[in-house]
Amino acid sequence: MLGRNFNCWVWYYLKFIYAENHDFIDKYLSLSQEIDNSKELKAYFLNEDFDTVIVGSDQTWRPKYSPCITNYFLDFLSDNSKVKKFAYASSFGTSEWEFDEKQTKQCKKLIAKFDAISVRENAGIQLCRKYLGTEAQLVLDPTLLLEKQDYIDLIKNKLGSLESPTQGVFNYILDDNEAKIEVVNQVSNYLDISSFRKQPNKKLPITNKKDLLDYKYPAIEEWLNSFYTADFVITDSFHGTVLSIVFEKPFITIVNKDRGSARFESLLSLLGLEDRMFYDVANIDMSIVEDSIDYNAIKLKLEPLQKLSFNFLDSIFEK
């Protein structure tokens, strides 16, 4: 009985902490029931009788992030030739090959059954070719296929109005430490403006249920609004970097090698923004804070990449 009560309380706490996330998902996304094994996964797709299945995006092809990597190569559809199989902006997250010999053999066989493959990083093209014996096309992360106004509309739908975009230095650091926080303070002092966060005050696991509010995640729209209102962004997040670009903000990206550096390197090199990327916070020169970003030039670089990405998606539904 104690174990059952404990699990109920854990469920209640997590439901409270992630309530805003779940509200966003319920409003904008259509999901299947929860599936946690390959047998159920195969049965679900058989029952739904889909014409086309698309894998992606983000680090869907990184074994360390998956309990069953072959699922992300559609092993549950391997004997179904009627379903068309595609990958859009799938990512290995790194330029290193992290599959073991068995996984490599299995996934090489499975990917050969895909109708078309696209990846999010240049490194992914090389990995597909070298280890999986297949060609892949480079496309943009789907978050870059939306316009700034699309995100603004989401914010306005939730908050009713927009705040003035002059709120200070937005600190969106996933893996904080003293050195990263010091960089935030230095930039804040250099610009003579305050810094702010939009994350829980405490990280899981919960150590004191009286502090439950400190673990609660903000609404997705409030988080997006932080990029809109920021004067400057400091982040070690790939999508934090993406949204800094979408909202046309000056930014510094601290590359998180453990989470994967290839995605940062590929995107920022495509856009000519490598100077905004740092592997070591000790190498950050405050002069970068004064350097403006020519977002008109960035748009000109993004447009053909967006067109290429949309063409890939259009080709899926034409086949």
Model confidence over 122-140: pLDDT tens digits?
999 999 999 999 999 999 9
Question: What is the spatial distance between Cα 35 and Cα 178, in angstroms, rounded to a whole number?
Answer: 39
Domain boundaries, the chain: 32-139, 145-304
CB atoms within 10 A of CB 181: 15
The yes-or-no verdict on residue 319 having pLDDT over 70 is: no
With bands split at pLDDT 50, 70 and 90, how would you rate the model's confidence at 57? confident
Mean pLDDT across the chain, nearest whole number? 92
The sign of the CA dihedral 104, 99, 305, 143 is positive
Fold that domain 145-304 belongs to in CATH: Rossmann fold (3.40.50)
Distances (CA, A) of 165 to 112, 133, 156, 213: 48, 48, 14, 27
Work out the burial of residue 51: count CB atoms within 10 Å of its CB; fewer than 13 is exposed, 13-18 middle, 19 or more buried: exposed
- With 0.85 as the threshold, say if the pTM is over it: yes
